[in-house]
Chain A
Amino acid sequence: MEFQVYKKIKNITFGVFSPKEISDAAAAKVVTPELYDREGYPVDGGLMDLRLGVIDPGLRCKTCGQKLKECPGHFGYIELARPVIHIKFVRHIFDVLKSTCKSCGRVLIAEQNLKRHISLLNQIGKEEGFEARRRKVKEVIRKSKVKEKCPHCDTKQEKIKLEKPYNFYEEDVRLTPIEVRARLEKIPSEDLEVFGFTLDHFRPEWLVLTILQIPPVTMRPSITLESGERSEDDLTHKLGDIVRINQRLFENINAGAPEVIIEDLWDLLQYHITTFFDNEVPQLPPARHRGGQILKTLTNRISSKEGRIRHNLAGKRTDFSARTVISPDPLIQLNDVGVPFSMAMILTVPERVTEWNKEYLRKYVETGSKKYPGANYIIKPDGKRKTITDETKDEILQELDVGYIVERHLIDGDTALFNRQPSLHRMSMMCHKVKVLPGKTFRLNPAVCNPYNADFDGDEMNLHIPQTEEARAEAKILMLVETQLISPRYGLSVVGCIHDGITGNYLLTKELVLTREEAVDLLYTCGVDDLSHLPNKDKVDGKEVFSVLLPRDFSFTGKDKSGNEVRIVNGQLKSGLMDKANLGQESGLMLRNIYEKYGSAYAAELLGKISKLGIAVLSRRGFTMGIGDLDVGEEVTNHVHDLLQKAIEETEKLIADYYSGKLEPLPGRTIAETLELRILESLNRARNKSGDMAMKQVQESSALTMARSGARGNALQIAQMTAVVGQQALRGRRIDVGYRKRTLSYFKENDLSSPARGFIRSSFRSGLKPNEYFFGAMTGRDALMDTALRTPKSGYLYRRLSNAMQDLKVNYDNTVRDASGRIVQFLYGEDGLDVSKTKNGIIEVKKIIQEVLEQ
Chain B
Amino acid sequence: MALDTIKHRLVPKHSKVSEAEKEKLFSNYNITSRELPKIFINDPAIAKQSNFKIGDVIKIERESKTAGTTFYYRIVVGA
Contact = CB atoms under 8 A, between A and B. Distances in A.
Interface of A: 813, 815, 817, 821-827, 829-833, 841
Nearest to A820: B35
Q: Identify the 10 closest CB pairs spanning chains A and B, nearest first.
A: A831-B67, A831-B66, A830-B64, A830-B70, A830-B67, A822-B35, A821-B35, A823-B35, A826-B72, A823-B37
A830 to B, nearest CB: 4
Contacts of B29: 813, 815, 823, 826
B14 to A, nearest CB: 15
Chain A interface main SS type: loop
Given A813-B29, A821-B31, A826-B71, A833 B66 contact: yes
B34 interface: yes
A823 B66 CA distance: 21
A757 to B, nearest CB: 39
A719 B31 CA distance: 61
A832 B70 CA distance: 11
A834 to B, nearest CB: 13
Interface in B8-51: 29-31, 34-37
Nearest to B72: A826
A817 B31 CA distance: 11
Contacts, number: 37
12 contacts: A813-B30, A815-B29, A822-B35, A823-B36, A825-B72, A826-B72, A826-B73, A830-B62, A830-B66, A830-B70, A831-B64, A841-B66
A822 B37 CA distance: 7
A830 B70 CA distance: 6
Contacts of B66: 829-831, 833, 841
Contacts of A821: 31, 35
Query: Which residue among B31, B64, B66 has the maximum number of chain A CB atoms within 10 Å of its CB?
Result: B66
Contacts of B30: 813
Nearest to B31: A823
A589 to B, nearest CB: 20
A824 B31 CA distance: 13
Query: Which residue among A823, A829, A830 has the maximum number of chain B CB atoms within 10 Å of its CB?
Result: A830
A555 to B, nearest CB: 28
Given A830-B62, A830-B66, A831-B64, 20 more contacts: A813-B30, A817-B35, A821-B31, A821-B35, A822-B34, A822-B36, A823-B35, A823-B36, A823-B37, A824-B37, A825-B72, A826-B29, A826-B70, A826-B72, A827-B70, A829-B66, A830-B67, A830-B70, A831-B67, A832-B67
Contacts of A830: 62, 64, 66-67, 70
Nearest to A832: B67
B62 to A, nearest CB: 7
Nearest to B38: A822
Contacts of B35: 817, 821-823
Interface string B62-79: 101011001111000000
Contacts of A825: 72
A126 to B, nearest CB: 12
A635 to B, nearest CB: 46
A833 B73 CA distance: 20
A832 B66 CA distance: 10
A60 B57 CA distance: 69
A827 to B, nearest CB: 7
A331 to B, nearest CB: 42
Contacts of A823: 29, 31, 35-37
A823 B25 CA distance: 12
Nearest to A829: B66
B54 to A, nearest CB: 14
Contacts of B70: 826-827, 830-831
A379 to B, nearest CB: 49
A474 B30 CA distance: 32
A832 B34 CA distance: 23
Contacts of A827: 67, 70
Contacts of B64: 830-831
A822 to B, nearest CB: 5
Contacts of A832: 67
Nearest to B30: A813
A821 B36 CA distance: 9
A710 B30 CA distance: 51
A706 to B, nearest CB: 35
A825 B29 CA distance: 12
